[in-house]
Amino acid sequence: MSDVLNQNFIDGIWQDGASGATFKNINPALNSDVIGSFPESGVEDVDDAVRAARKAFKTWGTMPAPARGDYLRKIGDLMTARKSELAFQMTREMGKPFFETKGDVQEAIDTAYYAASETRRLFGHTVPSEMPNKFNMSLRRPIGVCGVISAWNFPVAVPTWKMFPAIACGNTVVFKPSEDAPHSGALLVKIFEDAGLPAGVVNLVQGGGNTGRALVEHPDVNAVSFTGSTETGSKIGEACGRMHKRFSLEMGGKNPAIVLADADLDLVVEGLLWGAFGTTGQRCTATSRLIVHESVHDDLVNRLATKASALKVGYGNIDSTEMGPVINKKGLEKIEYYIKVGLEEGAKVLIGGKRPTGPDVEGGTFFEPTIFTDVTQNMRIAKEEIFGPVLSVIKISSYEEAVQVANNIEYGLSSAIYTQDVATAFRAMHDIEAGITYINGPTIGAEAHMPFGGVKGTGNGHREGGWEVFDFYTETKTIYVDYSGKLQKAQIDNVED
């Protein structure tokens, strides 16, 4: 499994891109390590993949749902057997430490088994009719061909959030991984192949923005699920709206952690280290704003700075590493730009703010864990997504002010509040404008069987994960059975005066 799979996978066959154009995939921790060259797929490749998916849908969509679940269980079993191998290659490709990529794979395993079980629970409804001798019910039908475009930071977990429910419901898939994690996507699809998934049910096309555009705009793609930037997601939404396609968008975040005066600060520090600097801060759910009560501000910030400064930064496949690299040079330059912006706005860099030095980080795109203090809520570093290990600290004097600051952004994905007061915690569950709220925990840590998604600029209302994602991947069909033997007119005034 360690061999690089650097082709597309269409209709059960590994094949080169039609044009022969390729792009390189580079280890972000060691830029001299070229993992491989992958197809820059074009319209012809996407068209072949969609055609294969459309053909496979004719039989896959009519297969009994529990039989589809049997394939998902086999996929889960293979991922379990290959977890360490797969995680090693994921870390090499996208950088986060090995213990994190193992968790990424485990989340995909959990999703496989969960989706398999849901194939026996694709419920419709039976409801009373307003007419005598008439039976009303609804049932679920698959949509058709689903385009899946995923991000690089969870190169196995996030695409399986999308693909497993899609195929459980009887749809077929054309999958485009991020161009920053093409090998992980291919290794995942190889597992599907080895599990015996019929040809054409899941197809893989590698490439960048042009590949994604061709997939979104293909007339035979019935639904699109996307995880990535708000800018790209908005363009996808426009295209799908114009073509009357169903679409699910999971986009940016600027997630707050509120710390009130009665919080357990030891617990807070532990949570913030994970929430702000896990995955090098490159999560849509990363804690990027710390909103802290003035009475505990100095103590908390000093404790956090001491712990964050001590994090071991380096190549994620070395056991001692606690934080890996930024994904690429472009991402690194974006972080450096926002450091400059923050300083110009009047914020202060308490720790970090630059690239680290030393033999453990030589030749990679690394950045130090960074904490800004003296941040005000309307600074750009407090409102715009940086996508790196940068935490902005905002001082507040009350719960009401904390909530106002937390909600003063265009995003609404995840949030957290630390307090010992149960009444305040329950108020926060309702007051914070976010799709997810954690009580006394960091903003990261979604579970596979729970809905995942955000509000405002973070998404378009659909949820991934849990039971709600199955609504996205199915159409509801309403059925009436009239066994009265006579014409009965519904929605006619049948009530006598």
At 135, which helix (H) or strand (E)?
strand 134-142
Active site residue 284: yes
Q: Where are the alpha helices (DSSP H) in 61-181?
A: 65-81, 83-94, 98-118, 157-168
Closest CA to 109 of 65, 154, 160, 63: 160
Query: From the candidates 250, 368, 385, 464, which is the catalytic residue?
Result: 250
Active site residue 410: no
Judge whether 453 and 463 are in contact, CB under 8 Å: yes
Judge whether 94 and 327 are in contact, CB under 8 Å: yes
Count CB atoms within 10 A of the CB of residue 243: 15
- Angle at which helices 182-194 and 157-168 pack, to 10 degrees? 40
Q: Which residues pair with 26 in a beta bridge?
A: 34
C-alpha–C-alpha distance, residues 225 and 175, integer Å: 10
Using alpha carbons only, give the angle 271, 226, 124 rounded to the nearest 5 degrees.
Answer: 95
Q: Which residues contact 235 (CB under 8 A, 6 or more apart)?
A: none
Ordered DSSP codes for 393-418: EEEESSHHHHHHHHHSSSEES--EEE
DSSP 459: B
C-alpha–C-alpha distance, residues 244 and 247, integer Å: 9
Q: Which residues contact 232 (CB under 8 A, 6 or more apart)?
A: 209, 212, 226
**3 state DSSP class of 465:** coil
- Biggest distance spanned by C-alpha atoms of the chain: 89
Catalytic center residues: 250, 284
